[in-house]
Amino acid sequence: MTSHPAAANGTFSIGGEYPVPRLGFGAMRLPTAAGPGRDGAVAVARRAVELGVRLIDTAHLYGWGANEELLAEALHPYPDDLLITTKVGVVRSEGPQGWSYDARPDSLREQVEQGLRRLRTERIGLLQLHRIDPKVAVAEQVGALRELQRAGKIGHIGLSEVTTSQLAEARQAAEIASVQNRYNLLDREYEPVLEACEAAGIAFLPWRPVAAATPARAKEIDAIATELGATTPQLLLAWLLARSPVVVPIPGTSSPAHLEQNVAAGDLRLDRAQLRSLDLLAGPDTP
């Protein structure tokens, strides 16, 4: 078995620099508009840190910078051991989607500078390429981030929604510390990417870590959760933690109660029979 930075206490060392507990927090769902919703979002972000979360995920795309500004308002000055990771490579556009890929080197440099300003920091510990821009060579995109890393603007480089071949190509241009792909018990399309990350000791940050199941399958999953005295989302997070030592889920919520439940999932332990039962349920769910 390959040796990994994941330790017995449930941490993983991102880039060999940030030992974070293996349950992070995705900030995408936090409301940013002025008013009670924003006040509650600030409180949730602060509560996550109080509960021991040390990896918080955001992106330029989330409110076009508003989510980053919210986290800065809530958490700056940041604890030394807190890793806030953001993503670039997607910009606002006039098209029907309202956004487009843009990972040209000049654009990436500008996006990173904007992120630094919004997060009120001189260095982004983990900067992720939100999507590979099909119009720009992978080596050119990752190479631009490598230059920013050498300049001290970026600590470590991550990728999002990549294939195994894209990951391999990116690793030719720079050291990759993390991959953030869609992955959960019922959606394992990127299983080969997770396996590649495990082999290389790269953190794998599954987004959408909890997915709804069809009634028949949900009944079986719920039964296992009941055995553990846990909620179904907690069980699905615990399964991810058991799946591989490089997995660091980033569940998101705007609810303090759900946040506390998510963090508590890190204390769940699945036995072999439960893992076997869940593995039989794994894979694409169809009506």
Instruction: Assign residue 180 the CATH number of its domain.
Output: 3.20.20.100
Smallest CA-to-CA distance from 74 within 97, 94, 53 is with 53
What's the pLDDT tens digit per position in 35-94? 999 999 999 999 999 999 999 999 999 999 999 999 999 999 999 999 999 999 999 998
Please give the residue range of the domain that contains residue 232: 11-281
**Domain count of the fold of the chain:** 1
Task: Estimate to the nearest angstrom the gap between the alpha carbon of 35 and the chain centroid.
Answer: 27
Residue 6 maps to a domain: no
Exactly one of 62, 101, 183, 190 is catalytic; name it: 62
Given a cut of 70, whether residue 283 has pLDDT beyond it is no
Residue 26's SS3 state is strand
Each residue of 216-258: pLDDT tens digit?
A: 889 999 999 999 999 999 999 999 999 999 999 999 999 999 9
pLDDT at position 3, please? Answer: 34
Report the alpha-carbon distance of residue 165 to residue 8 in Å, rounded.
31
Reported as a single tens digit per residue, the pLDDT across 89-115 is 999 998 788 999 999 999 999 999 999
Residue 172 — very low, low, confident or very high, per pLDDT cuts 50/70/90? very high
Note if the pTM is more than 0.85: yes
Identity of the amino acid at 227:
E
For residues 43 and 285, the answer to whether their CB atoms sit within 8 Å is: no
The SS3 call for residue 101 is strand
- Residue 130 maps to a domain: yes
| 5, part of any domain | no
- Tens-place pLDDT, residues 128-151: 999 999 999 999 999 999 999 999
CB 179 within 8 A of CB 159: yes
Residue 182 lies in a domain: yes
Q: Does the active-site annotation cover 62?
A: yes
Instruction: Compute the 3-state secondary structure of the chain and give helix, strand, coil in percent, each to the nearest 5.
Output: 40, 20, 40
Q: Is the pLDDT of residue 7 over 70?
A: no
**Domain membership flag for residue 251:** yes
